[in-house]
Homo-oligomer: A and B are copies of this chain.
Amino acid sequence: MKLLNPAELEAALRDIGARRYHRLHPFHGLLHGGQCSKGQVQAWALNRYYYQAMIPIKDASLIARCEDQAVRREWRSRLVDHDGEHEGDGGIARWLKLTDGLGLERDYVTSLRGLLPGTRFAVEAYVRFVREKTLLEAIASSLTEMFSPVIIGERMAGMLANYDFISRETMSYFDKRPPQAQRDADFALGYVKKNARTPEQQQLVLAALEFKCSVLWSMLDALHHAYVDPGEVPPGAFVPAD
């Protein structure tokens, strides 16, 4: 292990994204390319809801262990983004517009009853990672946001073009996210470039991003296995009508 300069560390992070970010997962090819049934899109939105709903819990967990006031203050904006300023505002509420638009009952979605176990375990692993690893690793695990503006652009274009049950209104979550994700990714990237000062710390940062890519990837693996191929829905999980 050698000490990377900040530019080399950033390049190594981007390389992980290029090889491991869930943009490359076959399910996203189907989803964005118009090859999913409405039921498969519902299953994706339903499962991803749990991830969205746990993001403020994850971010508050990070703030709760952070002794640096400036980082806490910066990280607080993520709570605002997801929980909003009032009822019906924020990322979670916008995600529910998507599940509404897909014809899923809101109570069913928020009850989490239809969740795949693989989704639940992956999301819980992410929250636990942020609570239990070093602050540096917790911050680094957010760096998948470096890659999210591209996938969101592809998703917006692909899903609006390919599905008549998807509208700009129901996709409003994705309209708001890219500038937020960019701001957050810039902060987190700057933080790890400044604070990963030994080869060991830099390896922890890279491993944290790999871990987080594996969280997102395994959520799609669970979806793909249950709803695409071979389409074996685990007991109790959401069963599409079509």
A residues apposed to B, CB below 8 Å:
53, 56-57, 60-61, 63-67, 69-70, 72-73, 76, 79-80, 83-87, 90, 92, 131
Q: B64 near A87 (CB under 8 angstroms)?
A: no
The secondary structure that dominates the A interface is: helix
Q: Which residues of B contact A60 (CB under 8 A)?
A: 60-61, 63-64, 66, 72
Chain B proximity of A39: nearest CB distance (Å) = 27
Q: Which residues of B contact A69 (CB under 8 A)?
A: 56, 83, 90, 92
Copies in the complex: 2
Q: B73 near A63 (CB under 8 angstroms)?
A: no
Q: A76 near B79 (CB under 8 angstroms)?
A: yes
Most chain B C-beta atoms within 10 Å of own C-beta, residue among A56, A64, A72, A79:
A64
Partner of A57, one of B57, B64, B85, B86: B64
Q: Which residues of B contact A65 (CB under 8 A)?
A: 57
Most chain B C-beta atoms within 10 Å of own C-beta, residue among A56, A66, A67:
A56
Q: A73 near B57 (CB under 8 angstroms)?
A: no
Chain B proximity of A51: nearest CB distance (Å) = 14
Q: A83 near B92 (CB under 8 angstroms)?
A: no
A-B contact pairs, 18 of them (CB 8 A): A56-B69, A57-B65, A60-B61, A60-B63, A60-B64, A61-B64, A63-B63, A63-B79, A64-B64, A64-B131, A69-B83, A69-B90, A69-B92, A72-B79, A73-B83, A73-B86, A76-B80, A79-B79
